[in-house]
Amino acid sequence: MDRVLIYRFYSSEAGQVIAESVTNSSINSLDNMIFSPDFNCLLLAHFQTGEIDAIDDISMVSVDSKYFDYLIKLPVKSSLVVPIIIYNSSNELWGLLIAHKYEQPRHWEVWEINLLEELALQIAIALQQAELYEKLQIANQELEQFAIEDGLTKLANRRHFDRVLDQEWNRCRREGKSLSLFLLDIDYFK
């Protein structure tokens, strides 16, 4: 393999190469390359089903497709493309894991296809876990907010007051300063 890259779909019309590794510095980098909206739509339509493309010799492809027409224009001789699908209620096509061979056509072995398929699955799992972690962080922040404020008044509750009072008391004691406190009970509310 001369190049392995990860292509990320942002929408049906936008996508970008977000990671790339090349074996030869003479190969033009596609890193951070943004493809045209038309090509992005072609990729989405072609790989939405989760189908893997293992093309041993691009010049021998006889399928009449704009996607293959675009591949033939690249200096790629062989291509292996595995979709990165996030398995949830909508089975979202997140991106593509792509391997290219430039110098000569080559036959993709079953173990190579399986390896890229497994890597794509691991990437999808990592992405799902990152998304869940982000949601967990947001939920924890909301819970912390609920724990320190009254649901009705949105004012800090007694537990929060006691914690802040303790922190300030310790700070003033360390710094040798005094602390003044006014407590008001307005209309016996809380």
Q: Are 106 and 78 in contact (CB under 8 A)?
A: yes
Query: How far is the C-alpha of 60 from the C-alpha of 103, rounded, in Å?
Result: 15
Question: pLDDT value at position 88?
Answer: 79
Per-residue pLDDT tens over the stretch 47-82: 888 888 888 887 777 665 666 666 667 778 888 989
- Does 69 or 18 have the greater pLDDT score? 18
Q: Count, in order, helices (H) and strands (E) of the chain.
A: 4, 5
Q: Structural domain tally of the chain?
A: 2
Centroid of chain to Cα 113: 23
* Same-domain status, 13 and 41: yes
Count of residues making up the chain = 190
Nearest Cα residue to 46 out of 83, 77, 72 = 83
DSSP letter at 56? S
Domain boundary (108, 133, 158) is at: 133
Per-residue pLDDT tens over the stretch 80-96: 989 999 887 778 889 99
Question: pLDDT value at position 107?
Answer: 92
Is 100 part of a structural domain of the chain? yes
* Same-domain status, 22 and 65: yes
Per-residue pLDDT tens over the stretch 130-185: 999 999 999 999 888 887 887 777 777 778 888 888 999 999 999 999 888 887 76
Question: pLDDT value at position 40?
Answer: 74
- Does 64 or 108 have the greater pLDDT score? 108
- Does 63 or 16 have the greater pLDDT score? 16
Q: In this structure, what CATH number is given to the domain that contains residue 98?
A: 3.30.450.40
Residues of the domain holding 189: 149-190
* Same-domain status, 34 and 80: yes
Q: Are 81 and 47 in contact (CB under 8 A)?
A: yes
* Same-domain status, 103 and 10: yes
Residues 6 or more apart whose Cβ sits within 8 Å of residue 2? 22, 23, 24, 27, 100, 101, 102, 103
* Same-domain status, 97 and 127: yes
Using 50, 70 and 90 to split pLDDT, how confident is the model at 111? very high
Using 50, 70 and 90 to split pLDDT, how confident is the model at 34? low
Residues 6 or more apart whose Cβ sits within 8 Å of residue 190? 150, 153, 158
Torsion sign (Cα): 24, 96, 66, 33: negative
Question: pLDDT value at position 54?
Answer: 87
Question: pLDDT value at position 59?
Answer: 77
Residue 32 has pLDDT above 60, yes or no: no
Residues 6 or more apart whose Cβ sits within 8 Å of residue 91? 50, 85
Residue 24 has pLDDT above 70, yes or no: yes
Domain boundary (105, 133, 161) is at: 133
Nearest Cα residue to 50 out of 90, 14, 78 = 90
Coil, strand or helix: which one is 169? helix
